[in-house]
Chains A and B, each alone.
Chain A
Amino acid sequence: MLEIKNLHAKVDGKEILKGVDLTIHDGEIHALMGTNGAGKSTLSNVIVGNPKYEVTQGTITFNGKDLLAMSPEERSHEGVFMSFQMPVEIPGVSMTNFMRAAVNARREALGQELLKATDFLKLMHDTQKLVDIDKKLVSRSVNEGFSGGEKKRNEIFQMAMLQPTFCILDETDSGLDVDALRVVAEGFNRLRTEQTSALVITHYQRLLDYIRPDIIHVLLDGKIVKTAGAELAKEIEERGFDWIKE
């Protein structure tokens, strides 16, 4: 599904990624762990095409297509979704208008018919029930005045509306208490299909108790320095990252 080769990237003129190789097959869940500043968020932002990040070398292919040649919206239409570490508040833009624009842009790109207003509202309603998000939140401006947990839950709601095939969960656990974390993780698990792949970025083991990864990578100083099975998370939880460096 996703194949990253020798990826180098800069932000604000500073090289953060220094040759990342990563392959994720259909249906696999990969976790990416590492210390602060190792480049985890840079990698996720580069995959989704954040214009602040500059790729200087390397390739990313997604289902055989050159992802780096696409705009952020085109990547989204291809099925790439990122749950933001800090979801953005957009005062004055209602969730309804925001989601309608997103769903219909994707349908248009895929050559599908645009949803009629009534069908769209029904989809909103059904999805809101499915991910168990408060109806009031869905009727407000995007993320405006939402608590940390509500924002993360709203990310899962948007994921459910857009039904991506590849999801990046960028530190979805940051700032969440255990209950909120469980709700969000369960929401994600419910939405997964056998084809859905994911890259779960986290500092901690605890999210991985709910979203079981097939493979864990450790990113340090812009490179993936270790790749192993799910048992690696426990070891990192106990021993930290220093032993990997050595």
Chain B
Amino acid sequence: MSLEQSYINLYQAKRESLRASSPEVMNTLRDEAIRMFANKGFPTRKVEDYRYIDVPQAFEGKDGYTMPLPTLPLNASKQGVISLNDEALLNRYYAKVADNEDAITALNTAFSHECICIHVGKHQQLDRPIELTDTFTSDEDQMEHKRILIVLEEGASARIMLRYAANNKMHIITTQVVEVFVGDNAYLEMYELEETHTSCTRFNQVYMQVGRYANVKHNNITLFNGLTRNTIKAFLKGEYSEVSLNGCVMANKSQVVDNNTLIRHEVPNCTSHELYKYVVDEQAVGAFAGKVYVAEGAQNTVSDEVNQNICASNDARMYTQPMLEIYADDVKCSHGSTVGKLDEIALFYMRQRGIPLAEARMLLMQAFVGQVVDEIPIAPLRDRLHIMIEQRLKGELDKCVGCARCK
């Protein structure tokens, strides 16, 4: 039996229980989604967007993991910004930007049974940030398919942090699809912070649709993980909008972090920025593929993309692939990427001043990725992240399978 068939069988077995607990709009798309998945199959390394990780291997042997269908302790009260399965909202937006041509998104659409909804109303300004923390706490190996819908209506503004944590040693595989709709004149700062452990496998698919005069800042920080694939796609649909996709990655041991981003300029006069920085150490593997697409007629597009990486050991590997695809003739676009080692001259300078090699390395790595954190507008978060990065580099956030901290 093929790997795909085992997941299709799992779907058939779970189909009724999924349907029983889900909103109608989610159910109507399931069968079609599993057909799409069956048709596509898990992407192999031959698929351009997935060439840096082994997706079939990530899903191999995990169809037997328990797949609980818990209901989150949220009430769907209309006064709140956060709710579960807001049917009116789902009817308008569910699966409207997520793309089931992607086999992992299709798998998620087939299996996800509830959707966290964040709805910020017209001209509503959230003065305090929202933090959703997803902590993996299962006693058994587990598979989860999560769905989040974020809608900012016209003129709304919000700051939202999605944090992924783990506090035990079980194997966990998750797929997550986040659909984000940012209306005209709306402002969204979105943070994704991963601090899980080495036996977590995460596929995170983020799709953002951005309206006219809207501004979106997406920050994607991987502090600690097992295998992570983030797909971040931003579709600029209204003129004069601005999108920033920033991220930093710290990986060591045999951690794998693959960030695949797309910024699609579909209309004229929009601006995009991208800054991703990685430090990969020991046997870790980092990958970054960032495409900026400028559609025909999207004149006056301004875009800059930077990916800088440090391979701190001889065994660490980094793949970087910045891409520009431009079909308009009056645009200003740049992209650049570097892969280097820690600056030997700076290391020696610090050691001459008495700073031990390990600490000198740490200071340089911290300074390197810290540039991404410095761009974050929320000062307390910025300070906290600087401290977390320092702890991470000192090994104080280490969560290996079996260590006392993770028990």
Contact = CB atoms under 8 A, between A and B. Distances in A.
B370 A92 contact: yes
B387 interface: no
A72 interface: yes
A91 interface: yes
A73 B352 CA distance: 6
Interface in A102-117: 102-103, 105-106, 109
A92 B345 CA distance: 15
Q: Identify the 3 closest CB pairs spanning chains A and B, nearest first.
A: A92-B367, A76-B354, A72-B351
| Residue in B349, B351, B354, B360 with the greatest tally of chain A CB atoms within 10 Å | B354
A84 B349 CA distance: 8
B396 interface: no
Contacts of A71: 351, 357
Contacts of B356: 73, 105
A48 interface: yes
Given A90-B346, A158-B353, 15 more contacts: A49-B352, A50-B348, A51-B348, A72-B352, A75-B352, A76-B352, A87-B349, A88-B345, A90-B364, A93-B366, A98-B355, A101-B360, A105-B359, A106-B354, A162-B354
A97 B363 contact: yes
Contacts of A162: 353-354
A76 B357 CA distance: 12
A77 interface: yes
A162 B364 CA distance: 21
A43 interface: no
A169 interface: no
Q: How large, as a class, is the contact surface on chain A? A: 20 to 34
Interface string B338-378: 00000111101111111111011001101110110000000
Contacts, number: 77
20 contacts: A52-B348, A71-B351, A71-B357, A72-B352, A75-B352, A81-B352, A87-B349, A88-B343, A88-B345, A90-B349, A90-B363, A92-B368, A92-B370, A93-B364, A97-B363, A101-B355, A102-B354, A105-B359, A106-B354, A162-B353
Contacts of B346: 88-90
Interface string A168-182: 000000000000000
Contacts of A105: 354-356, 359
A97 B367 CA distance: 11
Interface of B: 343-346, 348-357, 359-360, 363-364, 366-368, 370-371
B33 to A, nearest CB: 45
Contacts of A82: 352
A73 B354 contact: yes
A102 B349 contact: no
Given A90-B346, A90-B350, A98-B350, A73 B367 contact: no
Interface in A51-98: 51-52, 71-73, 75-77, 81-82, 84, 87-93, 97-98
Nearest to B370: A92
A109 B345 contact: no
B363 A102 contact: no
A91 B355 contact: no
Interface in A14-68: 48-52
A114 to B, nearest CB: 13
B354 A88 contact: no
Nearest to B390: A97
Interface string A158-195: 10001000000000000000000000000000000000
Contacts of A51: 344, 348
A89 B346 CA distance: 7
Contact of B348 (A72, A102, A158): A72
Nearest to A51: B348
A73 B359 CA distance: 11
Contacts of B368: 92
A98 B354 contact: no
Given A51-B348, A92-B370, A102 B353 contact: yes
B351 A93 contact: no
Contacts of A87: 349
A40 to B, nearest CB: 17
B351 A98 contact: no
A92 to B, nearest CB: 3
Nearest to A102: B353
A48 B345 CA distance: 13
Nearest to A83: B352
B346 to A, nearest CB: 5
